[in-house]
Amino acid sequence: MKYNLALLIFCIFTISCKNNHKKTNEELTISEKIISLKDTLDFGDFKVYNVYKTQAITYRKLKKETDSIKIANQIINDLLEPYPVIFKNCFSFSKLDFVSWNNKYINNDSIINKRIEFITKINLDSIIELNYKSVSELSGHKPTGAWYAYFFGYPDMCDMCGCDLNAMQLNLAYPELSKEYFQYLFPHELNHNIYDLTNGNDPDNKTVLWDIINEGFATYFSKKHSDLPITKAFTPYKNGDYNWCLKNEKKIFEKAKPILFSTNGSDFDDLGTSDRNTFIENSPGKLGYFIGYRIIEEYVKKNGEDSWKDVYNLPVRKLLEESGYEKYIKELK
């Protein structure tokens, strides 16, 4: 009897252990991996919509479908209609365009499967969560707004872009994405989500200078947050690009000075692009980021190590004045 009881306990223990065995990521099939993804990450005032999960499910559902009307309707109902903020109000996709770029992925889902493997392997949700926490802690502010994470039909176009803090797309089809890349990207973007709110009411919020400071600050913050080398903080800079900017600092600022208070949005284009040779011949891109970054560096030199946090609430005109940057440039040879 004693022996039988022990055997019974052993059996129950073995069965319950077996039932509790949770498959590791490697053991899951691709469909199980997709189903295991969360639909939304909810941090209160900040949300991340994992649209890529719905994309992956919808594409798999439609893989064997031959009726093009059915395919189009399903894409519109499952993907376009539920996310009007990003797809309609921000990117204004026509139904035709939207169906067409999603359709490409149905027949060629190898990139989607590879990315799902990557996303589950690195546990993207937890990386975003950790960044949300560490960014909130370091900045003293909670990011607000919404990101829409999905496979964009034009993979190379941008890693993260959008319209405002409530409508940002994280393009998970972007070729360069890696765990290291997120160390630069997430703090940079979360800082935008903070700054848009803390300094969005600056009377100069429509000026080129405001854009310059917003980008320079995101760069400054991500360098500090993830302890990045300067080239990584200015991704996609190559070695030597930042030094080129330092050598040409006077030339860069003097060319930008007349448009600093322009409220014509397109005046920032050549300063904001990552493309080389735009604002100045033979230059790297992101020269606007460089100017903003240097203004903040000069401000911190004058006001102490922790004074970078002032940037969240300091009007950009005042920041420029108090940084002494114009005087610094004037004295440069």
Please, which residue, 218 or 311, has the CB nearer to Zn ion? 218
Binding mask 22-51 for Zn ion (x = CB under 5 A): ------------------------------
Residues in the chain: 333
Q: How many CA atoms lie within 13 A of 259 on its CB side?
A: 18
Residue nearest Zn ion, CB atom distance: 218
- The least distance separating Zn ion from the CB of residue 156, rounded to whole angstroms, comes to 17
Among all chains, which residue has been given the structure tokens 């848009």? 196
How far apart, in whole angstroms, are the C-alpha atoms of residue 189 and residue 315? 20
Contact range with Zn ion by CB under 5 A, out of 17-25, 61-69, 132-140, 208-216: 208-216
Please, which residue, 109 or 215, has the CB nearer to Zn ion? 215
H, E, C per residue of 214-243: HHHHHHHHHHHHHCCCHHHHCCCCCCCHHH
291 sits near Zn ion (criterion: CB under 5 A): no
Contact range with Zn ion by CB under 5 A, out of 32-40, 66-74, 209-217, 309-317: 209-217
CA distances from 325 to 64, 212, 331 (A): 61, 14, 10
Please, which residue, 165 or 218, has the CB nearer to Zn ion? 218
Q: Give the single-character DSSP code of 171.
A: E
- Amino acid 93 reads F
How far apart, in whole angstroms, are the C-alpha atoms of residue 296 and residue 221? 10
How far apart, in whole angstroms, are the C-alpha atoms of residue 285 and residue 236? 9
How far apart, in whole angstroms, are the C-alpha atoms of residue 60 and residue 118? 18
Among 41, 218, 311, 329, binds Zn ion (CB under 5 A): 218
- The least distance separating Zn ion from the CB of residue 190, rounded to whole angstroms, comes to 11
Binding mask 60-89 for Zn ion (x = CB under 5 A): ------------------------------
- The least distance separating Zn ion from the CB of residue 18, rounded to whole angstroms, comes to 49
- Of 145-164, which residues contact Zn ion (CB under 5 A)? none
Q: Give the single-character DSSP code of 87.
A: I
- The least distance separating Zn ion from the CB of residue 218, rounded to whole angstroms, comes to 4
Interface positions with Zn ion (CB under 5 A): 215, 218
